[in-house]
Structure 1
Amino acid sequence: MVEMLDRGIGRLTRIPPLPPFTAPEEILADALPLLDPPSRVTVTEAAERHMRVPVQGNWVPFDRAVTPYTVEPADMTQSRRFKAVVFLGPSQSGKSQMMQSVSAHAVTCAPGPVQVIHMTKTDADAWVEEKLDPTILNSPALRERLGTGRDDSTFSRKRFKGMRLTIGYPVPNQLSSRSQRLVMLTDYDHMPQKLGPKDSPEGSPFGMALQRIRTFMSRGCVLAETSPAFPVDPNADWAPHAGHPHMLPPATAGLVPIYNEGTRGRWYWECPDCGDLFEPRFDRLHYDADLDPGAAGEQAMMECPHCGTLIAHRHKVGLNRAALEGRGGWLHEGRHIEANGRRALVRIDDPDIRRTPIASYSLNGAAAAFASWEELVQRYETERRRFEALGDDTDFARVHYTDIGVPYRRPEAEEEGALTAAQIREHMRSQERRVAPAWTRFVTVSIDVQGNRFEVLVMAWGAQGERMPIDRFAVAQPPDHAPRAKGDDERYRALDPGRYVEDADALLDLPERLYPVEGASWSLKPCALVIDFNGPAGWSDNAEKFWRARRRNGQGGLWWLSIGRGGFQQRDRVWHEAPERGSKGRRARGIKLLNMATDRMKESVLAAVGRFEGGQGAQHVPSWLEAEHLDELLAERRGAKGYEKRQGAVRNETLDLSVQALAVAEFKGLNRIDWQAPPAWAEAGPANPFAVAVSAAAAEAAPAPRRRARTSRSRYMEGS
C-alpha cells in the first residue's frame, strides 16, 4: 500500500495501487476489431457459433434443429428487402429464444444500436435477470464483448464493444427521439396498442418502432413476435378464400392485422406417405371428440389432407427437421393465381412473392416443438366442454390464443343479438310461483342493494347446474324497530340501508322461508343468501355490521357478501378473500368477500338462459316472470372491454341477481359435485339439512301474532 500526505487531511494510508499501465498498442489492438465490416453470416449461424442456451439444466451450444421454424424469421431480420419481420405463434414455441439469437448476431457480427421492448418494465427486468444475463454469462463470445464499466450492464442497457443493447417498455419516450438499427417488440398483443394521451395518441408501438429505424435505411428492421390476444372482429366481412389461403381472420387489434399485410408465411410438412406438402394445424388432428379429454388426447394423430394418412406424434420432430433439408418449411403467398383458382405458394426468396415490406409468419400450435398433441387436445376439449356447460368462453379463447396460436372467433359474433325477449317468451316454463320444480336440490337467495330498496331473487337449483327463478320481489319497507329521523313519518318511511344498518333486518326472515318442492312431501329453505357489498353511500359499512351480527347468531356460513370484479381476465370466476386494501388508503377490512368475475359470469348466465332445450347448466325462465324483470335480464350486451348496458336500458338487477346466484352456487362447489353422491345440502329428499317435512312446513308457515297493527310482514316485503 502507498502512503500520501494531504495538507488538509494529513497522512493518508491504505490507498490501493493504481491499475497496471496499458500501452497504446493494447488499446488499439482491442479497438481494431470494431473497424471490421459486418460478418457475412446469418443470424442462425452466429447463434450456433457464439451463443449457449439452457437445456435440462446444462448450457449447450444453440441448435437450429430444436425449433427449425425460427430459422428463417430470424435470418430475415438482416434482409435488405424487408423493413419488418412479424412472427405469430403459440406460447413456449421458441419466440423469445429467437429474440436472443438476433441480439447475439448484433453483438458478435453486425454491431449497431438495438432496442428490445417488453410488455411492461417488470417483464423487461425479469427478462434481463432470468434470460439475458444468464445467456451472456454462459456464452464466452458474448461475455468477453460486454463492457466492464459500472454502467455497462444494467437492467435497461447493455454496452458491448461497438454496440448498445437497450431494454425498454412501451411508452412514448422509449420509442421517440432515438435511432436504432433494430427494434424488437416482444409479446406485442399484450402491449398497449396506442401510446400517448388517450385524446391524442402518438401511434402504435409497431408504427413508432418503424420510425426509429429510418436513418439506417435498408439495414434497419423491426422484429415483432406474439401469441394472439385479440378476438376476431365481429364486424369484419371475412371468410376463408382460395385466393388468400394464408390470411388469418381479421382481429380487432394486435399483430394479426400486420401479419395479414405481410407475406403470410405458414409452416409446411412433407407427408411421409404421398410426399405432398401440407400445413400441420390443430383442426387436422384426428381424434374422437366424444371421449374424455385425456383419452381423446392420447389417440390424437395428424391427418394428411391429400391422402388421409394418419401421422403419430412421435414423427413431429423429424418432420420439423426435414424442413431444414428443403422437405417442407415456410411457404408464403405469391402474386399470381394458378389455373385451379388457388394462389401460388412460394419460398421467401422467390421473386413472385407478395410485394410488401413485411415478412410475416404464423405458426400453428400443432407444429410447435414444445407442445404435445395429447396435452393440446386435452386442454382444448376440457375448455370446450366447460364453455358449453357454463357459457364462459374466457379459458376456451385462451386455448386458441396461447396453445394454438390463432385469433378466436366468438360464436355470438356470428349473429349479433341472438338472444331476444321474444325467443325467451316462446320457451318460458310453466311453473307455479314460490314452488320449486320437482328436480330441485337446493335453493339460494340473491339480494341487490339499491338506495331505497332491496331487490331479491330466489333460485331453485337442480343437478348439473340446471336452475330456475322461483320468486322475484323487492323489499321496500324497513322493520318496525328501525330508527326514524326527526321529520320521518311515525308509521312509515322509505327504506334507507346506507343510512340505517337496522334496515337490513328486513331481510332476516329470508333464511326461514319455505319453498315446497313440486310433487314432494318436503319444502326447502335457502342454503345460501348473498348480498351485494356495493350499494349506496354508507352501505358497505352497514353490510359488514349486518354480516358480523349474523355470524354472532351462528349464521356466518349462511350469509355471504359479494363484490363484482369487471373484465374478462380475472384470475378466477369466483374467489373468497379479504380486500387487499381499504378505500382512501385505509387498512383493509377484516372480512372476506365473495369476489365475482362479473363479465365472465354474465357470459355464463346469458348462455344458460339461451339453452332452451334444458339440461346441464340451463337457466329456465318461468312464465310468471314480469316483463320488466325479463328486460332487466337482457339489459346488457358484451362490448370490447366487458358487459355494458344496451341503449335505452335502465335497470339490470335481474341479471346481477342471477350472477350472484351462480357465484355462490359455484363457490359452494356446484361444478365439483358428484351427483351420484352429492353433499348433504344438495341431496334430493328429506335428508337434506335444509328440507322441512310438509306437516312441519305447514306449522312453520302459520301466521305469527302481530306485535302492533302495522307490523305484518307483508307491510314491508312484497311477494310474501
Structure 2
Amino acid sequence: MVMMADRAASVLHIPPLPAWRAPTEILADSLPLLDPPSRITVTDAAERHLRVPIAGDWRSFDRQVAPYTVEPADVTQSRRFKAVCFVGPSQSGKTQMLMTVAAHAITSAPDPVQVIHMTKTDADAWVEEKLNPAIRNSPEIHERLGRGRDDDTFSRKRFRGMRLAIGYPVANQLSSRSQRLVLMTDYDHMKQILGPKDAPEGSPYGMARQRIRTFMSRGCVLLESTPAFPVTDPEWRPGLLNPHELPPVSGGIVRIYNEGTRGRWYWECRNCGELFEPHFTRLLYDDGLEPAEAGAQAQMECPHCGELYAHRHKVELNRRALAGQGGWLHEGTRIGEDGHRALVRIDDPALRATDVASYSLNGAAAAFASWEGLVSAYELARRQAETFGDYTELSRVFFTDRAEPFLRPSETDGAALTTTQLREAAVTLPRGVAPGWTRFLTVSVDVQGNRFEVLVMAWGLQGERIVIERFAISQPPDHAPRAKNEDGRYRLLDPGRYGEDADALLDLASRAWPVEGQPWALTPAALVIDFNGPPGWSDKAEAFWRARRRDGQGHLWFLSIGRGGFHQRDRVWHEAPERGSRGRKARGIKLLNMAVDRLKDSVLAALGRMERGMGAQHLPDWLETEALAELLAEERGLKGYTKKQGVTRNETLDLSVQALALAEHKGLNRMNPEAPPDWAVLGPQNVHAVATEEKRRADPPPEPPRAVPAQINFLKRR
C-alpha cells in the first residue's frame, strides 16, 4: 500500500495489514492459557510431545534409553525440593534431561524458564544445533512457538503462555528476573564467582536460587555437570554414616551434591537378588594387557556373590532398575543395628533432611559409554601418568569418563621432596661425563639479565636421564660491543641490549661430552634457548636463530616459550608465533611451545624416582646444593606452579622443563628401542658421536688413497 504524504514527492510505504480474525477466534486461542498446569510428569510429557535424534532420524523420546535421568527430571516438579543436582559423566544423556524439563514447561506447565550455558558461544551453539532442530521436529512444541519477529531468537523463545530464555553465567543474566525453573548445564565449567572482583555477587547456583523465590514451592533449579575440581582432603574416606558422600573438593557441583540427598544408581543382581552400585572399580580385567585388550575383556562383578556381567547386559540392568529392581537410593536418617546409614527412595519420609535432591551417576552405568572404552582410556592415562608424571589425562578420565573427583597420587605421599633426599639419591659420575647408556644429549639455556644459565642432559631409553653439566656464561664474546674495558676486563653479559652477546652460546653446538668408559663423545642432538628474557631479548633471540639457520644449523637450535595452566592443548607443540592484532603467523620462525605446568609435574615426578628406570631423572653428586634447591623452588596450585615464599631462583627447574620439552619434540616418546633414529643410536654409529682426544691420539690417521692413472680410469669408464 502506498500513500501520499502532505509534502510533495514524499511517499509512505505501509506494510499490508494482517489477515482479519474474529474476536471469537482470538478468545478461543487464548482460553487454554487459563487452564491449570497438567498433572503429568516431565518424562510422560517428553514421551508424548518431544522428538529426539536417533541414528539420523527423529523419534519420540524414550525413557528407557537413559533410565537414570527419569527421576531427576521428574523431581524438578516436586514442591519438596528447591534444587536438583546431577553429577554424571559425558555421554550419559544429562544435557538431554534439561531439554525434557523445558519441553514439560512448554506443553504442560507454562511458566518462565531460563537455561544457563557455560558461555554465550556455547549457548548459541546449543540453540542452533540442539534446541531449534528439536522444536522444528516436535510438532506440538513447534505449534506453540510464537510467530512474531522477536519470538524466535538465540536468546529467547516465546511459546504460548511461557518464555524460554537462554543465557550464560554473568551477573546481569541472573539478576532482576523471576523464573520458575533455572536449568544450568556444565556447571563446573562456568565461572564460579559472578560480579566484579572487588564486589562479588555470588555463585551462579546461589544467584539462580534467588530467581525462583517468586514462585515459592513451585520454583526449582536444575544443574548438571561432570566434576572438574580436585579433591582438597587427601585423608578423606567414606564412612558408615556417609556411604554416598563424594570427597570434599574446592568448588563446583560436587559440593552441592554433598549438601543434598546423595542418591546413587543401583542394579539388582540376577543371581543373588542383592543391590549393588555399578562402579568403575567393580570392573574386572587384566591390567597387564595392552589397554585395548584389557578393555575388551572387562566385566562387572557383583560384590555380594561374584556374578559377572558383560557390557551387553548393561541395557537390561538399567531397564530393570527403572522398573524397580534397583534404581536411585538416597541416604536416609535411620541408622541400622550394624551402624550403617539406611538407604531409601526419594519419596521415603526418612529421607535426609535437605531441599536439594542430588544424584551421582558413575561412568560405568552411562548409556552411551562402553566398558571397553572406559578401561582402555583409563589404562592409557594411568600408564602415561606413571611414566611421565603427567596426570592431566588421568584427571580427565576421572572427571569426564567416570564422573569422580580426582586426587593426584603425588598429593597423598605425605611428604614433599627435599634437597636432603635428592642429595642422598645422587649418582656418582664425573662432571661433564655422560653415562654409558646415553643415547643423546640436549642443551637448554635460560636467559637472565646478565648471564646465560646452561644445563646439559644425557638421555637414555624411555625418558631416563641425568644432568651431566650445569654452568653459567656471564662474559660476552670478544667481538661484542664494549666487551672489554680499558683495563682489559670483560663486562657482564647484557643479551637484551647487545645481540652479539648471544654468540657466547655458539660453541655449545660443537662441544663434545665424553661417554663414560667409551672411546667416543657426543655433541648435542639439539639445543633450546628461552625466547623470553630481559627486555629486548626476544628480537635478539630471533635474529640469533635466523643466523643459525643460514649457517645450516636450524635443525639443531630451538627457541622455547612457556604456556601456563594444566589444560593446554598439548604438552609440547612447535609452531610459528602470532604477530600483530590480526593473529597472523610469523614467517620463517617457529617456537617450541611448552605446557610448563604439566611438564613440571613430570620433572618433579621423575626426580621422585630414586632408582633407575623409565622416566627417572638422576642428579650427579657434584651438583651444588643451590641447584638442588632450584629444582624444588616451586609449589603446585590449582592454576599452576608458583615460587615458594621467599624463593627467588628456579633456573634448574626451568632448564629441566626445557630439556624434557626438547626431548619430547625430538621424538622421545615415539622412539622404537629396536630401531632408534640415527641421533639416538647407542655407540659410535650415532650421528652426533665423535672420537675422544685419547682415541684420536691412539689411532693414526689412515693412509691417503693411491692416485689412479688417468689412462686406467679412462679404460674403466669405457
> Taking structure 2 as the reference length, what is the TM-score of the superposition?
0.95
Per-residue CA deviations over 1:66-114 (Å, capped at 9, x if unaligned) read 0000000000000000000000000111011000000000000001111
2:639 maps to 1:641: yes
**Which residue matches 1:554?**
552
CA contact 2:519–2:695 (8 Å) conserved in 1: no
- How many residues align? The count is 697
Per-residue CA deviations over 1:94-140 (Å, capped at 9, x if unaligned) read 01100000000000000111111111111111111110111001101
**Which residue matches 1:215?**
214
CA separation of 1:485/1:671 partners in 2, compared to 1, >3 Å: closer, same or farther? closer
Equivalent position SS for 1:473 = strand
Per-residue CA deviations over 1:659-712 (Å, capped at 9, x if unaligned) read 000001001110011111111111111111100123587579xxxxxxxxxxxx
CA distance in 2, matches of 1:481, 1:225: 66
CA separation of 1:323/1:489 partners in 2, compared to 1, >3 Å: closer, same or farther? farther
CA distance in 1, matches of 2:668, 2:235: 40
Show structure 2 runs of 5+ residues with no match.
699-718
CA separation of 1:126/1:489 partners in 2, compared to 1, >3 Å: closer, same or farther? farther
Q: Superposition pairs for residues 466-615 of structure 1, below 5 Å?
A: 466-484=464-482, 491-582=489-580, 589-590=586-587, 591-615=589-613
Q: Which amino acid aligns with 1:626?
A: E
CA distance in 2, matches of 1:45, 1:333: 27
2:323 maps to 1:325: yes
Equivalent position SS for 2:540 = helix
**Which residue matches 2:84?**
85
**Which residue matches 2:196?**
197
CA offset at residue 243 of structure 1? 1.2
CA distance in 1, matches of 2:175, 2:579: 37
**Which residue matches 2:272?**
274
**Which residue matches 1:718?**
none
CA distance in 1, matches of 2:184, 2:123: 11
2:628 to 627, 630, 635: 630
CA contact 1:3–1:11 (8 Å) conserved in 2: no
**Which residue matches 1:124?**
123
CA separation of 1:489/1:296 partners in 2, compared to 1, >3 Å: closer, same or farther? farther
**Which residue matches 2:38?**
39
2:672 maps to 1:674: yes
Per-residue CA deviations over 1:190-222 (Å, capped at 9, x if unaligned) read 011111122321111111111111111000000
CA distance in 2, matches of 1:632, 1:135: 58
**Which residue matches 2:52?**
53
408-417 vs 88-97, which deviates more? Answer: 408-417
CA offset at residue 416 of structure 1? 5.0
CA distance in 2, matches of 1:158, 1:292: 50
Equivalent position SS for 1:458 = strand
CA distance in 2, matches of 1:589, 1:492: 36
CA distance in 2, matches of 1:488, 1:257: 70
CA distance in 1, matches of 2:327, 2:262: 13
Q: Which amino acid aligns with 1:637?
A: E
Q: Superposition pairs for residues 410-489 of structure 1, below 5 Å?
A: 410-415=408-413, 417-484=415-482
Equivalent position SS for 2:224 = strand
383-392 vs 638-647, which deviates more? Answer: 638-647
2:140 maps to 1:141: yes
Equivalent position SS for 2:578 = coil
CA separation of 1:303/1:242 partners in 2, compared to 1, >3 Å: closer, same or farther? same
**Which residue matches 1:688?**
686
CA distance in 1, matches of 2:577, 2:43: 50
CA contact 2:483–2:490 (8 Å) conserved in 1: no
CA contact 1:523–1:697 (8 Å) conserved in 2: no
CA distance in 1, matches of 2:629, 2:130: 54
**Which residue matches 1:361?**
359
Q: Superposition pairs for residues 164-179 of structure 1, below 5 Å?
A: 164-179=163-178
CA contact 1:516–1:523 (8 Å) conserved in 2: yes
CA distance in 2, matches of 1:217, 1:399: 39
CA separation of 1:237/1:294 partners in 2, compared to 1, >3 Å: closer, same or farther? closer
Equivalent position SS for 1:508 = helix
1:295 to 293, 302, 313: 293
CA distance in 2, matches of 1:585, 1:361: 46
> Taking structure 1 as the reference length, what is the TM-score of the superposition?
0.94
2:293 maps to 1:315: no
CA distance in 2, matches of 1:681, 1:336: 69
CA offset at residue 323 of structure 1? 1.3
CA separation of 1:14/1:270 partners in 2, compared to 1, >3 Å: closer, same or farther? same
**Which residue matches 2:701?**
none
Spell out structure 1 runs of 4+ moving beyond 3 A.
2-18, 485-491, 584-589, 695-700
Equivalent position SS for 2:376 = helix
Q: Which amino acid aligns with 1:589?
A: A
CA contact 2:5–2:12 (8 Å) conserved in 1: no
CA contact 2:577–2:591 (8 Å) conserved in 1: yes
CA distance in 2, matches of 1:636, 1:486: 38
Equivalent position SS for 1:31 = helix
CA contact 1:195–1:202 (8 Å) conserved in 2: yes
CA distance in 1, matches of 2:73, 2:200: 31
CA separation of 1:222/1:3 partners in 2, compared to 1, >3 Å: closer, same or farther? closer
2:349 maps to 1:351: yes
Q: Which amino acid aligns with 1:80?
A: R
CA offset at residue 518 of structure 1? 1.1
CA RMSD of aligned residues (A): 1.8
CA contact 1:578–1:593 (8 Å) conserved in 2: yes
**Which residue matches 2:109?**
110
CA offset at residue 142 of structure 1? 0.9
Equivalent position SS for 1:78 = coil
CA offset at residue 612 of structure 1? 0.9
19-28 vs 342-351, which deviates more? Answer: 19-28
CA contact 1:185–1:223 (8 Å) conserved in 2: yes
CA contact 2:485–2:491 (8 Å) conserved in 1: no
CA offset at residue 586 of structure 1? 8.9
CA distance in 2, matches of 1:586, 1:61: 46
Equivalent position SS for 1:245 = coil
**Which residue matches 2:400?**
402
CA contact 1:88–1:225 (8 Å) conserved in 2: yes
CA offset at residue 648 of structure 1? 2.0
Equivalent position SS for 1:555 = coil
Show structure 1 runs of 5+ residues with no match.
701-720
613-622 vs 417-426, which deviates more? Answer: 417-426
Equivalent position SS for 1:459 = strand
**Which residue matches 1:382?**
380
Equivalent position SS for 1:223 = strand
CA contact 1:514–1:697 (8 Å) conserved in 2: no
CA distance in 2, matches of 1:85, 1:630: 51
CA distance in 2, matches of 1:10, 1:492: 88
CA contact 1:337–1:343 (8 Å) conserved in 2: yes
